[in-house]
Amino acid sequence: MGAFGWGLVATLTGGIAGWLWFGPTRASARLTAIASSPTRPWPSLLYGFRRTRPAKQAAAWRTSSIELCQAIAAELATGRTAGDALSRAITSTDFPDPTRMTPVLAAARDGGDIATALRQAAPPTGGEGLLRLSSCWHVSTTIGGGLTTLIERVATSLRDLEAHRQDISAQLAGPRATARLLAALPALGLLLAAALGMQPLPFLFTTPAGLACLILGLTLNALGLRWTNHLVTKAEQTCL
């Protein structure tokens, strides 16, 4: 394989690394959703290939949990029973994955174990609100505490925690943007060199020294992005 071939391999490797970094993380689950929804093929297709990162998915679950608690409290305030209030609140709340709430809806309508169903429906990330709601239901059914008061307190604490989380994310947006800008600077350098007539691409793709520089630069760039993301994620977990 010639120098150009190795350069092409290096470029493709960098592209794959970027795709793995910024691309979808739940592709197989989305493809399963496509296959299991024959009546709505095109919306399912778009939903299946939409890029969703775990952080966005967790944020969506936290938001829907807050909306669910608020809806339950509103339904209970009108005098509805707990099961009826929960079933109505579930049907009026937009969840990232509505199928996870199907057992909870069935338990609410059939008088099943709602606390257990809520605990099992909570996703691994972003399911803190459903876990707290499950604890409220357990306390209310075993001790007899006021369910409306408990849910309102949970909704308030979830809103405060989400506001704190968003504030931290806003403060860390600067370091993330700076890291991505620094990662894009080599490409800007190539454009600048080409504009000055230095022909950097033939050097990178057709000479051993250029090929070595290309591979080393792509590797260091990917490692830098990875390490920066690790530091920012760790900072978020420490603050929360």
pLDDT at 116 over 50: yes
Q: Is residue 214 part of a domain?
A: no
Closest CA to 176 of 218, 224, 217: 224
pLDDT at 117 over 80: yes
* Beta carbons of 25 and 54 less than 8 angstroms apart: yes
Q: Is residue 9 part of a domain?
A: no
Can you read off the two tokens belonging to residue 113? 């174990």
Interval 95-104 mean pLDDT: 93
Q: Name the amino acid, one letter, at 173.
A: A
* Beta carbons of 98 and 68 less than 8 angstroms apart: no
Interval 22-38 mean pLDDT: 41
Q: What angle do the packed helices 128-142 and 147-195 form, to 10 degrees?
A: 170
Can you read off the two tokens belonging to residue 220? 């260091």
pLDDT at 47 over 70: no
Q: Is residue 127 part of a domain?
A: yes
Range of the domain at 151: 54-163
Q: What is the pLDDT of residue 240?
A: 60
Position with higher pLDDT, 150 vs 197 = 150
Q: What is the pLDDT of residue 72?
A: 94
Q: What is the pLDDT of residue 239?
A: 62
Closest CA to 141 of 78, 86, 82, 72: 82
Q: Is residue 235 part of a domain?
A: no
Q: Lowest mean pLDDT: which of 18-32, 157-171, 199-213?
A: 18-32
Q: Is residue 111 part of a domain?
A: yes
Position with higher pLDDT, 36 vs 52 = 52
Q: Is residue 46 part of a domain?
A: no
Q: Is residue 131 part of a domain?
A: yes
125 three-state secondary structure: coil
Q: Is residue 118 part of a domain?
A: yes
Q: What is the pLDDT of residue 145?
A: 67
pTM above 0.75, yes or no: no
pLDDT at 101 over 60: yes
Position with higher pLDDT, 22 vs 59 = 59
Task: Give the total number of structural domains in the chain.
Answer: 1
pLDDT at 21 over 70: no
Residue carrying structure tokens 């499950």 = 134
